[in-house]
Structure 1
């Protein structure tokens, strides 16, 4: 009688021990268990900005798919590179992810980011781009981009423009345009787009080169938009031509993406890619993207990684052509 009772109990204990040991094996139940706790999402831009708004919207949708909260952690500074560095250095378990600006391809080569975007990140999704443009005050002597180019050709280095920092998308895009137009402009660097916008509104510079910070001011009649930089006209400002339309082979949309550290387990990567694929294509995210003039430009992780590699090569040539390292050394 006693033996009959002990045998099943002993078997039960052995089975429990084996199960516990199995749970300790690396990756044994990660596919079922991830995520089992909240996820940290590093946003490399200040709270309240357009990038922050779009990432919070996308994380809200993704959190419902993953059935875990996604906490947005703003780590602004160094043109987004402080946040990017934190993502690259995090533990590759899927619990620290974040927004990766495409400018990592440039700043890693300029020494502002101690990481190689080709091998130090796991790319999960490309999300959306930005709408860049050139804006002037309503009373500016430049009624069109054509007039500005003609004046700049006759007066090399006299036309000033404000941008958000040496080596950033607004600076590099504007210099690419100047090179294509055969003109020399006077670039004035600021510590961010808001300071550049304020000085343009105050008449201290001739033009502003920025993402859509100018949009409400254009709509209010406080600025005039000369051109946008996308592949196509932006719906909100459909009467404004693109640089490409005007004959300059320059397209700048600086798409952002979502990624994690390199070495993410394949099953965890798959879950995150699926969640953010759903989130990017949700009506909720698309509504926020439309409000901030951010065209949706979705790519799945592997395709986004290929895109990053292509951009890296283009940036190598651009850095040499524009002598960006020398400009950064001068400050």
Structure 2
């Protein structure tokens, strides 16, 4: 087969035009949004709150697809292997920065995804059962030091944001708690209300109902600012743990190679939606705080997060189930 240099040059010059034309006509058909977690959870609820409006702005249907399993890596793998044409996206959570340190032999690299935006965060709280004597974080730490390893604390699961925040809290407080992993924050909250565990470190969304019912009480929140719905609950930052800021979060990424103009257009639509008051109010009802960082800021957040999580996983000896 004879290949002429003129033909190669023409093809090379045409490639940027093709990419630009593709970006200008995008989206020309429906878009698939993969949520690698079960329907009804925090990530799924946030996706179904934000992306119907994104769909309206872009003028194409966005189909939410729940692809669960292996801590979110099944859905992530499906997106990593999809065409980088702007028609498949991943709406992931904190497992996106934990899994690289936890799972081996993955068929893709989490670092290869193109960051789009951190859409929202879900602040977490430290709460104890109503019968527990501690009325403050200081009293909880004092009790834990007096009974090392005896106090049980539930989280939404092994290697979740709650588990990692709990490990960091123990390390900084110089205490030892017994970790009880659940299959979600709702299950942990249910057992806290029943008195099965002494405390939990889960999202405010999951803990809120039992705190409101008087069956538990919050001692601290794990983010740097007090929560609007719980203004009397201090932050860990102001309770002797400066800089402590660990929440669950959800964000949007795309397969490696997705054209920058398409990424920017999707980001623009998401950012616009997150400014809308009805969407913000619905996210607040879910216990979420709208974020909307741009691709550059979100990319930096992911890189720094992978480093932090790698250190936590290593120091705490956390292993995949």
TM-score of the aligned structures, taking structure 2 as reference length? 0.88
1:240 aligns with 2:238: no
1:205 aligns with 2:197: yes
Q: Distance in 2 between matches of 1:71 and 1:197?
A: 31
Match of 2:60 among 52, 68, 74: 68
Number of the residue aligned with 1:4: none
Tell me, yes or no, if the aligned pair for 2:94 and 2:160 is still in contact at 8 Å.
Answer: no
1:226 and 2:219 are equivalent in the alignment: yes
Secondary structure at the counterpart of residue 27 of structure 1? helix
Q: 1:281 aligns with which of 275, 285, 301?
A: 275
Report matched runs for 1:49-88 at 5 Å. 49-88=41-80
Q: What secondary structure sits across from 2:19 in the alignment? A: coil
Cα drift, residue 114 of structure 1: 4.4
| Aligned counterpart for 1:182 among listed residues 162, 165, 174 | 174
Q: Is the contact between residue 87 and residue 261 of structure 1 (CA under 8 Å) also seen in structure 2?
A: yes
Distance 1:202 1:102 in 2: 28
In the alignment, the residues of structure 2 paired with residue 204 and residue 115 of structure 1 have an alpha-carbon distance, to the nearest angstrom, of 40
Q: Which moved more, 1:79-88 or 1:271-280?
A: 79-88
Cα drift, residue 28 of structure 1: 6.5
Report the CA distance shift for 1:170/1:114 in structure 2 as closer, same or farther (over 3 A): farther
Q: Where do residues 1-331 of structure 1 align in structure 2 (5 Å cutoff)?
A: 26-27=18-19, 29-111=21-103, 114-119=107-112, 121-211=113-203, 212-249=205-242, 250-325=244-319, 328=320, 331=321
CA distance in 1, matches of 2:95, 2:160: 7
TM-superposed deviation, 1:43: 1.5
Q: How far apart in 1 are the matches of 2:161 and 2:20?
A: 44
Aligned counterparts of 1:173 and 1:115: Cα–Cα separation in 2: 26
Q: Secondary structure at the match of 1:307?
A: helix
Q: Which runs of 4+ in 1 moved over 6 A?
A: none
Aligned-pair Cα RMSD in Å: 2.0
CA distance in 2 between counterparts of 1:198 and 1:76 reads: 23
CA offsets 1:19-77 (integer angstroms, 9 cap, x no match) = xxx9xx84363133211111111122222233222211210111111101111112233
Describe the shift of the 1:234–1:218 C-alpha distance in structure 2 as closer, same or farther (beyond 3 A): same
Q: Which runs of 5+ in 1 are unaligned?
A: 1-21
SS at match of 1:316: helix
Across the two proteins, how many residue pairs are aligned to each other? Answer: 304
Deviating more after overlay: 110-119 vs 30-39 = 110-119
Distance 1:163 1:47 in 2: 19
- The 1-side partners of 2:20 and 2:109 are apart by 31
User: Do the aligned residues in 2 keep the contact of 1:117 with 1:308 (CA within 8 Å)?
Assistant: no
1:107-131 deviation digits (Å, cap 9, x = unpaired): 1121165433322x11111111111
Contact 1:99–1:256 (CA under 8 A) maintained in structure 2? yes
- Which of the two has higher C-alpha Rg? 1
- Give distance in 1, aligned partners of 2:272 and 2:222: 28
Say if 2:167 and 2:312, in contact at 8 Å, map to a contact too. Answer: no
Distance 1:295 1:28 in 2: 35
Q: Secondary structure at the match of 1:156?
A: coil
Q: Cα gap change, 1:154/1:28 in structure 2, threshold over 3 Å: closer, same or farther?
A: closer
**Structure-2 separation of matches of 1:146 and 1:93:** 52
